Chains A and B, each alone.
Chain A
Amino acid sequence: EAGVAQSPRYKIIEKRQSVAFWCNPISGHATLYWYQQILGQGPKLLIQFQNNGVVDDSQLPKDRFSAERLKGVDSTLKIQPAKLEDSAVYLCASSWGSHTEAFFGQGTRLTVV
């Protein structure tokens, strides 16, 4: 079965610019996550979707970050405007349901200069 697909793999932007990341989860997975992994740290949950509804976005900096999953399948995460501290790997993951393992994509490495 195909894994979680993310694009782009790498992105370099200047601060105050905007950027968008795309994720296509494993077919049939209802739950989709976006994580931010800063170098040397564990992944931090930004937002969790169940189908096309938001379950948890408590750690999403809503003044600059937004995410959507309009048809309950693929998802986009946007940052506008970007700050230097947003430099990180952005991971997308999906799972079947409650207490089940999450499958991760390769991530998008964002560098803000």
Chain B
Amino acid sequence: GDSVTQMEGPVTLSEEAFLTINCTYTATGYPSLFWYVQYPGEGLQLLLKATKADDKGSNKGFEATYRKETTSFHLEKGSVQVSDSAVYFCALSYRNNDMRFGAGTRLTVKP
């Protein structure tokens, strides 16, 4: 069935380092792809999304490009901050709005 696989964590970086969190998907069609973020003690929030191939989603300095040829939607940020420490979830939505999530990647950014 449709699913997403994201890199295992945890990921620990120093402030201003470059971030990549890998996400690949399996789907029989053309899903929409999402990155959600869960800050400590808070609910899931949409970070960015892309609805078709070659679309780039961006928000708060984060970017991800929908790559159909590699079935990927990797999350990147050029310079992370301590406030970016959170758990990041890759997700896809396909057909009847069924939202499927990856296992999550915990990011810790140290000053």
Contacts and interface: CB of A to CB of B under 8 A. Distances in A.
B51 interface: yes
Contacts of B94: 99
Interface string B79-101: 00000000001000111111111
Given A104-B43, A104-B45, A42 B101 contact: yes
Interface size class of B (residues with CB under 8 A): 20 to 34
Contacts of B49: 101
A87 interface: no
B46 A101 contact: yes
Contacts, number: 65
Contacts of A24: none
29 contacts: A33-B99, A35-B101, A40-B104, A42-B89, A42-B103, A43-B44, A43-B101, A44-B101, A45-B98, A48-B96, A48-B97, A48-B98, A50-B96, A50-B97, A55-B98, A56-B98, A93-B99, A97-B97, A98-B93, A99-B31, A99-B32, A100-B97, A101-B49, A102-B46, A102-B99, A103-B46, A104-B36, A104-B44, A104-B45
